[in-house]
Amino acid sequence: MLDSNRKRIVEALGPAARVLDVGGWGQPLERADWVLDLMPHETRGLYPAPDYRPEQERFSAETWVQADICDHEPWPFADDEFDFAVCSHTLEDVRDPVWVCAELSRVARAGYVEVPSRLEEQSLGVHGPWVGWSHHHWLVDRDPDGTLRFVFKSHAIHGDRRFHFPRPFGSLLTPEERIEAVFWEGRIEAREEVFTEASGHDAYLSRFVARNSERCAGREGPGAAQKEPQSVTQRLLRRARRSD
């Protein structure tokens, strides 16, 4: 979770607020009263926040519910049981993020959702010699009204240079550029966007890259002075000329 938003959430919640963390296994929110995750309580915290303090956890083994959040069974909580729900870096991993958003809306009055941005997910080399994160299933857009749109992350994204940013684009992104975040009240809207024609899917990927190709111009990344004398923009333009 973006550190500034994590702190904002914790500071805004009063001591009596009931808080749920959905999918918080790797980096649980210590302020959460309950956690819902596929993994068990004793294995939590694989990716702790820098200032995480286990002794400050409000949840416990008794309020950690181990379950598949996508099994299309209502979660074991009442409607509006929670004042606030957090779901950070989980929706891109699961098989039915739309269902998860529906259940978030049912059990909580408000909440926060965070996912990787398309800037990061369409960047080569952020996780290995491929585009984006190897285990993520979805590309996610956030509409102006806060609606999340999920598009299946096709393997085509790795094989066509029009569909992704080259190195070192991903390494130059700021923490804020790496995420999409939504604070919501009442309901978090979500839908899947499906392309039935390859042309529509290809345009969806390539237009985003073209539209954002100059975003990191002028920034310096690791080893830029020695190995990357050209800007990201220059190399994208060179790539486009080669493909003509």
Beta pairing partners, 19: 84
Both tokens of 237, joined, read: 């333009």
Q: What is the pLDDT of residue 51?
A: 82
- Distance, in Å, from the CA atom of 231 to the CA atom of 225, rounded to the nearest integer, reads 11
Both tokens of 50, joined, read: 């820098």
Distance of CA 11 to the CA centre of its chain: 22
- Which amino acid, 114? E
Q: What is the pLDDT of residue 141?
A: 98
Please compute the mean of the pLDDT values over residues 13-23 and round it to a whole number: 97
pLDDT for 105-161, tens place per residue?
Answer: 999 999 999 999 999 999 999 999 999 999 999 999 999 999 999 999 999 999 999
pLDDT for 75-109, tens place per residue?
Answer: 999 999 999 999 999 999 999 999 999 999 999 99
Q: What is the pLDDT of residue 96?
A: 98
Q: What is the pLDDT of residue 48?
A: 81
Check pLDDT > 50 for residue 176.
yes
Under a CB-based contact definition with an 8 Å cutoff, are residues 52 and 27 in contact?
yes
For residue 227, name the pLDDT band (cuts at 50, 70, 90): very low
Q: What is the pLDDT of residue 235?
A: 56
Check pLDDT > 50 for residue 229.
no
Q: What is the pLDDT of residue 228?
A: 44
Please compute the mean of the pLDDT values over residues 18-47 and round it to a whole number: 96
For residue 17, name the pLDDT band (cuts at 50, 70, 90): very high
Q: What is the pLDDT of residue 18?
A: 98
Please compute the mean of the pLDDT values over residues 224-228 and round it to a whole number: 45
Please compute the mean of the pLDDT values over residues 181-199 and round it to a whole number: 97
3-state SS record for the chain = CCHHHHHHHHHHCCCCCCEEEECCCCCCCCCCCEEEECCCHHHCCCCCCCCCCHHHCCCCHHHEEECCCCCCCCCCCCCCCECEEEEECCCCCCCCHHHHHHHHHHHECEEEEEEECHHHHCEECCCCCCECCCCCCEEEEECCCCCEEEEECCCHHHHCHHHCECCCHHHHCCCCCCEEEEEEECCCCEEECCCCCHHHHHHHHHHHHHHHCCCCCCCCCCCHHHHCCCCHHHHHHHHHHHHC
Q: What is the mean pLDDT of the chain?
A: 92
Q: What is the pLDDT of residue 52?
A: 84
Residue 84: exposure state from Cβ atoms within 10 A (0-12, 13-18, ≥19): buried
